[in-house]
Amino acid sequence: MTRLFPPLAKETRRALDTLQGLIEKTFPLPARFRRALPAETAALSRLLRTGAEERRRDYLSRPGNLSAYLRYFLPWNVYRLCRLLPALPLDLPDDAAVTELGAGPLSFAIALFIARPELRSRRLDFRCVDLSGPALEAGKALFSALSGAFAGPGGAPPWRIKTIRCGLWDEVRGSRAALTVSVNVWNECFPPAREPERGFLAPFAAKAARRLDTLCAEGGRILAVEPGIPRAGEFIALLRESLLALGRPPLAPCTHREPCAMPGGAPENAPWGKSKWCHFAFDTEGAPPALEALSMAAGLPKERGVLSFLLTGAGAAPRPDSLRVQSDAFALPEGLQGRYACGKDGLVLLRGSPRRVSRLHPGTLVRGAPSAAHDAKTGALVVSDWEDG
């Protein structure tokens, strides 16, 4: 995990293009409905931003919403996951179980199939949980088409997909999973943004952590991915705290088990006087052209992907001087540049020449010890000497 969000491999780009074509082939859209697709996509985007009170829990059961989700949100979610998953330690053995909460049209299973081709020959059991039956069935049909398109000499991959129609908190039968996943799920339960939520997020994150913990085997791993917005970043920090208390330490992106250096929330929570939340941004190079065209038509262009995430589980203890790069590069006095990073000492500022700083990327792991100097803007400790992690 020395670099998160690496550029897409050629095979991954080809598979994403194939997926875009299979969506159209598996769910053909008459011309009269296709003309309305950009407007339906924009409307669904607004609906997803309004908060749970203004959105039915099974909103993907409405045909127009599902069509827009399959053609816009699903492929963008798969794209973002395909930038994340290659760097994560997810070496699932034969007969491992994977449980995904809020699976919708199987975004995670599809992304894992695309981004981790070495897992396609493993016997994996997926339990995909969602309240919307139409979304689950659509995802199952799409996964079948995708896996069939990439079937090798032995035929279709031996992944067993079981869809379970139930809510987030309902009982899911079966053994605890080696990997428990939630992608863009918890933010849909947040109250509307216009309402104060200081009393909501902490207990809700603790409840979500207990839910994920009960579904995951001892020694298993939990992956939670949310949009890279401030309130989702704060939720991820609180989820990290709760899972750590349950004996599930962070593996990524964190390099330590100390309190989160970027917990989000109100500025008074942070020693540097300005709220910062853990999130990562990366370019969208390699996204399918048809997806980018729909994004433009819907007024939702994406030049960058942004997400917050947490992976927990047992693993080797990181070096105490490990630092995870978080931000883009920015100008500093004296012709220098900087990037913010996170480590056991909290927020740090990596400071150096433009040439050296530009070689780093959000998600890169480096090693370095802070000096006694502090960043005048944030109070972060300054690191002027570092090496690749």
Tens digit of each residue's pLDDT, the chain (389 residues): 789 999 999 999 999 999 999 999 999 988 888 899 999 999 999 888 775 555 666 788 888 899 999 999 999 999 999 999 999 999 899 999 999 999 999 999 999 999 999 999 999 999 999 999 999 999 999 999 999 998 766 666 789 999 999 999 999 998 999 999 999 999 988 877 655 555 789 999 999 999 999 999 999 999 999 999 988 999 999 999 999 999 999 999 999 999 998 888 755 544 444 568 999 999 999 999 999 999 999 999 998 999 999 999 987 777 889 999 999 999 999 999 999 999 998 899 999 999 999 999 999 999 999 998 999 888 899 999 999 87
Residue type at 94 in one-letter notation: D
CA separation for the pair 121, 157 (Å, rounded):
6
Structure tokens at 273: 């006087």
Could you report how far apart the first and last alpha carbons of the chain are, in Å?
9
**Which residues contact residue 258 at a Cβ distance below 8 angstroms, ignoring those fewer than 6 apart?**
344, 346
Output the CA torsion sign for 265, 269, 272, 278. Answer: negative
Q: Please, are residues 81 and 107 in contact by the beta-carbon 8 Å criterion? A: yes
Tell me if the pTM is above 0.85: yes
pLDDT of residue 53: 54
pLDDT of residue 59: 84
The full length of the chain comes to 389
pLDDT of residue 61: 85
pLDDT of residue 153: 65
